[in-house]
Structure 1
Amino acid sequence: MKTKFGHLTYCTNIHPGESWVDHFRELQTHLPLVKKEISPDKPMGIGLRLSNEASLTLIKENNLLEFQNWLKKESLYVIAINGFPFGGFHSEVVKEDVYKPDWSDKRRIEYTLRLFSILKVLLPANEEGGVSTPPLSYFYFDTNENDRTTRRKNSTKYIIKTLVALIRIHNDTGKTLHLDIEPEPDGLLGDFKDWVTWYTSDLLPNAIPSLMDAFGYNFQLAEELTRKHIRLCLDVCHLAVTFEVNPNLISELRRLRIQVGRVQVSSALKVKFPENVEGVLQSLKPFDEKKYLHQVVVITNKGEKKFYRDLNLAIEKGAEAFEEWRIHYHVPIFLESYETFLSTQEELKMILAEQKRERFSQILEVETYTWNVLPQNLQLPIGKSIVRELQWLISFLDSNSQI
């Protein structure tokens, strides 16, 4: 729903269904119930997740019209699309396949432009909307820096082609659409620092002359439009895992004039190590599940930072002396602790407090999809779980609390 803090929504990647028929059935089941609890008297926005397969079906005119009519009937609207997982997000094993195809593959730009073609139809008048996307690629797809550099250059070329398409859409329709690139641990843009370096050293120097050639823009306008249409997807869980959520983050974004397409409202697992290290490691083993990557960033008792591709690899190094772990696990945001473990709710509150002080993004999208970490007595059906997350977000934004 639209509030003074921005559009509050959640990402439908929690609902299964790789085909449009299956996913639409899930939306019809859950969205009206969520809206009734969260926004009974006003339209409610959704962050739509579409697989490649689903997008190929939905873009057909009759299907898109049917969906539009259903959204209108239920007083719902689409404000954003999650274009990170190309397909198989609910497969038995996802892991690094979530990055495939990456931005060096033309299938990624074809899929992304299809999502924008859908969004430009569904987006309400006088609103901006974005499609989120991976941090170019996965770092470990390549084994040497030369290959990574080549992949990065090819990915940037496709990003610039997408930028050109978004400007053409704006020129034709007046709608502002933006690509929201999402840093993630072990992505080719693995953290905020990597993202900024790429944006300032790769994207802008190549995008600006491309727009000057394609449209005849001067340097200033070409830069302005690049910044307008290529934005940061600020996933709070991801930046908390890399220890980058701090009071200076938003001021640094303002200094660099980087726009935030959306804030993905999310928490990670935080582990503080007492003397009983082995006991903590044993308690972590149930979290080592096979579906998703759970990258770990560790601070040792000497203050050093270490990175592990997945939780099992970090657990194997259990003899080392640790101070704190951050684990890529999208845990429910309404709790600050999970029995013996903490969440990064404190870091999430810090970002939300900045949003309250000075709205730096138009979209706040809850992205929780790991529910099995909850104690049994706190587990609810998925619809009620989503409502609880959104209610916590609304309550925090409406409160007078500051960090």
Structure 2
Amino acid sequence: MRLRHRGGTPLHLGYCTNVHAAEDLDGVIAQFDVYAVPIRERLGSDVLGVGLWLAAPVAAALAADPALRARLRRELSARGLEVVTLNGFPYRSFQDPVVKHAVYHPDWTTHERLSYTLDLALVLADLLPDDVARGSVSTLPLAWRDPWDIGMADLAARRLDRLAAGLAAVESSTGRVVRVGFEPEPGCVVETTAQAVVRLADVDRDRLGICLDLAHLACAWEEPADALKELGRIGLPVVKVQLSAALESADPDALREYAEPRFLHQTRNPEGDAADDLDEAFERSLPGPWRVHYHVPLHVSPAAPLATTIPVMRAALAELVGGPRPLCDHFEVETYTWGVLPPALRPRTPGQLAAGIAAELEFARTELRDLGVRA
């Protein structure tokens, strides 16, 4: 959806398709009719933004074939869909029965991660609407924290230099600007915005920056105003914001039904006690309260003693769009965990999933409107 900041800057709001499992082009296009079009119609919007997730094989095929990219753009346009951002964090197989640590591979020490990200940038340059200034691609925060040493850090730094050069080449050949945002996440080499300021201080800030996932920010117990102030202090741009909410509870035992085998659910308390997954947090009896990296639908308030980190999201949005100029123009709802929610909360049909995503987008649109953003 296209919105407008009260200062006049266009803002883009969409949803991320990594909630769907397709890993070939025909499957990606089929999602549009099953989910995206019904979502757009429920919202009464002429145009719906979709933050595409393209697995590495389909990204490579599209990057190699201009005709395939033209086909994808036609398929989007015919359905009232547009793309300004891609999710390049998961490499492939993101909705497999077990994902866990596999989502962090290949990491930014590898040629595979660099090639995948540059493929996405080239694809996005051809998908961007003609009147949109730039595109964004989100990616993992370098790597999982272990193993990590000086040699790996140097290798990753060289990859990031090549990434910036590759993005410049995409701009030179297509005339379109694409920026890449590294997404701080608990357990990774870059867990927090404070670590981003240190580890990404020397990147090309015209082309590289931060993807700010608001559930991750909450799970790190960061204050949005402080985090954004630190990023602004060194001029590290927020190129994309993922609108997401994590689980929170003062009574950890109430979270047991959310322990599940597919995704990693990093758990933190405000004192800095940490576990890499819910099962581990229970085994170690971490003192509460807990915040858990478990993206939950934005518009749903769970029964007490459970809560979500929507207050953190609201505080972050106030900082991001509440001033005279927005600090970011790409906003993406990213609840990829619909399929692993407790059975009573889990959609059972594609129509129910589409309705849930539409409700999230309406919730997000209302939050932005309350801050003065308009259609």
TM-score by length of 1: 0.84
Query: Hey, what's the Cα distance between the residues in 2 that align with 1:377 and 1:182?
Result: 27
Letter in 1 for 2:310: Q
Q: Which moved more, 1:367-376 or 1:175-184?
A: 367-376
Question: Paired residue for 1:263?
Answer: 241
Cα shift readout 1:131-185 (whole Å, capped 9, x = no counterpart): 1111111112x1xxxx522112111111110101112222333321101111111
Q: Which runs of 5+ in 1 are unaligned?
A: 205-225, 274-279
Residue 335 of structure 2 corresponds to: 368
What SS is found at the alignment partner of 2:206? Answer: helix
Structure 2 residue aligned with 1:4 = 4
Say whether the 8 Å CA contact 1:233–1:261 is kept in structure 2: yes
Runs of 4+ in structure 1 deviating by more than 6 angstroms, as ranges, are none
Query: What SS does structure 2 have at the residue aligned with 1:136?
Result: coil
Counterparts of 1:168-179 in structure 2 under 5 Å? 168-179=169-180
Contact 1:16–1:26, Cα closer than 8 Å, also in 2: no
Structure 1 or 2, whichever has the larger Rg, is 1
Matches of 1:14 and 1:377, distance apart in 2: 15
1:338 deviates by: 4.0
**Counterparts of 1:306 and 1:230 in 2: how far apart (Å)?**
31
Moved more, 371-380 or 155-164: 371-380
Partner SS for 1:285: helix
Indicate conservation of the 8 Å contact 1:15/1:27, yes or no. Answer: no
2:260 is aligned with 1:312:
no
Equivalent in the alignment of 2:311: 346
The answer (yes or no) to whether the contact 2:219–2:291 under 8 Å persists in 1 is: yes
Structure 2 SS opposite 1:337: coil
**2:52 match:** 48
Question: One-letter code of the match for 1:397?
Answer: L
1:38 aligned partner: 43
> Residue 150 of structure 1 corresponds to which residue in structure 2?
151
- Tell me how far apart the structure 1 counterparts of residues 124 and 342 of structure 2 sit (CA, whole Å): 34
Counterpart of 1:188 in structure 2 is: 189
Aligned equivalent of 1:212: none
Could you tell me which of 41, 63, 67 is aligned with 2:68?
Answer: 63
Greater mean deviation of Cα atoms: 258-267 or 190-199? 190-199
The more displaced of 389-398 and 119-128 is 119-128
CA distance in 2, matches of 1:367, 1:176: 23
Contact 2:140 2:184 in 1 (8 A): yes
User: TM-score if structure 2 supplies the norm length?
Assistant: 0.90
**Hey, what does 1:337 align to over in structure 2?**
302
Distance in 1 between residues matched to 2:61 and 2:169, nearest whole Å: 24
Structure 1 position 250, deviation (Å) = 2.4
Question: What amino acid is the match of 1:376?
Answer: A
Which of structures 1 and 2 has the larger relative contact order (alpha carbons within 8 angstroms, sep 6+)?
Answer: 2
**Separation in 1, partners of 2:371, 2:2:** 20
Residue 102 of structure 1 contacts residue 136 of structure 1 at CA under 8 Å; is this kept in 2? yes
CA positional deviation for 1:336: 4.0
CA distance 1:400–1:124, shift in 2 (3 Å): closer
What SS is found at the alignment partner of 1:196?
helix
Q: CA deviation at 1:396?
A: 1.5
* CA distance 1:166–1:8, shift in 2 (3 Å): same
Task: Give yes or no for contact 1:236–1:245 (8 Å, CA) kept in 2.
Answer: no
Of 23, 27, 34, 1:29 maps to 34
Q: Residue 295 in 1 paired to residue 296 in 2? A: no
CA-CA distance at 1:400 after TM superposition:
5.6
- Paired residues of 2:193 and 2:231 also in contact (CA < 8 A): no
Seq. identity, %: 29
For the residue of structure 2 that corresponds to 1:3, the secondary structure is strand
Q: Is the 8 A contact 1:271 1:342 kept in 2?
A: yes
RMSD (Å), alpha carbons: 2.1
Q: Residue 96 and residue 375 in structure 1: after superposition, are their counterparts in 2 closer, same or farther (change >3 A)?
A: closer
1:235 partner letter: D
Kept in 1, the 8 Å contact 2:29–2:75? The answer is no
Whole-angstrom distance in 1 between the partners of 2:304 and 2:29: 36
Q: How does 1:212-251 map to 2 (within 5 A)?
A: 226-251=204-229
